[in-house]
Amino acid sequence: MTPLGAAVLVAAGFTATGPAAPATAAVPSTIPLTVTNNSGRGEPLYVYNLGTELSTGRQGWADANGTFHPWPAGGNPPTPAPDASIPGPATGRSATIRMPKFSGRVYFSYGQKLVFRLTTGGLVQPAVQNPSDPNRDILFNWSEYTLNDSGLWINSTQVDMFSAPYAVGVKRADGTTASTGHLKAGGYQGFFTALRTHPGGWANLVQTRPDGTVLRALAPGHGIETGGLPASVMDDYIDRVWRKYGSATLTVTPFADRPGTRYFGRVSGTTMNFTNGAGAVVTSFQKPDSDSVFGCYKRLDAPNDQVRGPISRTLCAGFNRSTLLVNASQPDTGSAAFYQDAVTNQYAKEIHARTADGTAYAFAFDDVGHHESLVNDGNPQQAYLTLDPLS
């Protein structure tokens, strides 16, 4: 298990930045979240709203009324957390709860309650790449959101795993609704079928119950962690990128609203150095490994600054989408060239191919170029979580 902290959405490439709410429309302390169960499944549904209270920085959970409850002190070894579950609607029905001003997650599980524990550092959350995790055989998923004084940002995420499908939405002040996350018809089962056709360990990302029931596919970084996916799976592509930019220049324009801010990358040995327009080196990256690429961390660390982080985000997206060899000016403005190389993030490729609107959070910085499954509004009237069939 891993700690659930205030930066969970940042770690998933989901940052609470955007237009401020209109001065005449202050965001209330809670907004309604309607959960609609279209799964067709007969088991009980459990819903959880966990996160960080933005006004205090305290970690805790919200009940169905949106009332915040701080977690009690944990222990070492971890101690059981209070039962934060909210009974969810039966299939074919909806239920409405309240969302407070959180940076957090809305979990849902079918058939069994999730197991949460507390350490001295706070909440630990399910980490099903660990075969001994108590949630390993439970069918569950989660959405990530931030609700603050500037509005609501809510996404569907596959950064850690692809599992029980759902969509998110927001109702705007003018009565219109924006949503994202739905799969194409047959997309859920089609994803697992497609993943299993890719040689080289990709099929090993799929987790099943002992009876063979498919539960999820782990993200490829977790696949490397568990040994199911070879640690060298992206090496050939990484090597080719390093060779290309030993004699060519990679131009990164990380801010769409600042086209004049550009950085220029060239490889020397095992290092890619980026210079600014004056020729000064502003940051350098050691040649990444596959895990760095999939996780957008380690050798592709992306601090929350104005130089290294934005460059790293762009590099990470280009590696996962395998576009760095076909486009020396990053990020890409369209998606036509994504995932076309034989060496690519097959997990991300197959997810994007099956979402109804083509967007997803299949890796941490899938928002580069606005290919993420995210909706936001500065004056949200209501949020939606719609659970779809596993078909």
pLDDT in tens, 293-319: 999 999 999 999 999 999 999 999 999
Q: Is 372 a catalytic residue?
A: no
- Note the Cα 196 to chain centre separation in Å: 22
Residue 223 lies in a domain: no
CA 253 to chain centre: 23
Same-domain pairing of 358 and 303: no
What DSSP state is assigned to residue 183?
B
User: Token pair for residue 203?
Assistant: 């099929």
Same domain, 302 and 193: no
pLDDT attached to residue 9 = 39
Do 175 and 257 belong together in one domain? no
Residues 186 and 319 in one domain: no
* 133 classed as catalytic: no
In a domain, 228, yes or no: no
Residue 13 pLDDT > 90, yes or no?
no
Q: What is the H or E stretch that residue 189 is in?
A: helix 187-197
- CATH code, domain carrying 98: 2.60.110.10
Asked whether residue 152 falls in the same domain as residue 256, the answer is no
pLDDT at 11: 32
- Between CA 17 and CA 34 the distance in angstroms is 24
Q: Does residue 15 or residue 201 have the better pLDDT?
A: 201
The verdict on 194 and 259 lying in the same domain is no
Tokens 């890619």 correspond to 272
Q: What is the pLDDT of residue 25?
A: 57
Q: What is the pLDDT of residue 215?
A: 98
Residues 87 and 178 in one domain: yes
- Which of 53, 160, 225, 372 is an active site residue? 160
**CA atoms of 294 and 355, how far apart (whole Å):** 20
213 part of a folded domain? no
Q: Which of 304, 376, 385, 374 is nearest to 150 (CA)?
A: 376
Q: Given this model, what pLDDT does residue 48 score?
A: 98
Q: Is 0.85 surpassed by the pTM of this model? A: yes
Residue 264 phi, psi (nearest 5): -125, 120
Interval 44-56 mean pLDDT: 97
Number of structural domains (the chain) is: 2
Residue 225 lies in a domain: no
Provide the pLDDT confidence category of residue 176 given band limits of 50, 70 and 90. very high
pLDDT average, residue stretch 376-382:
98
Q: What is the domain extent for residue 127? A: 2-22+30-204+352-387
Mean pLDDT for 342-347 is 98
Round the average pLDDT of the chain to a whole number and report it.
94
The pLDDT of 202-217, averaged and rounded, is: 97
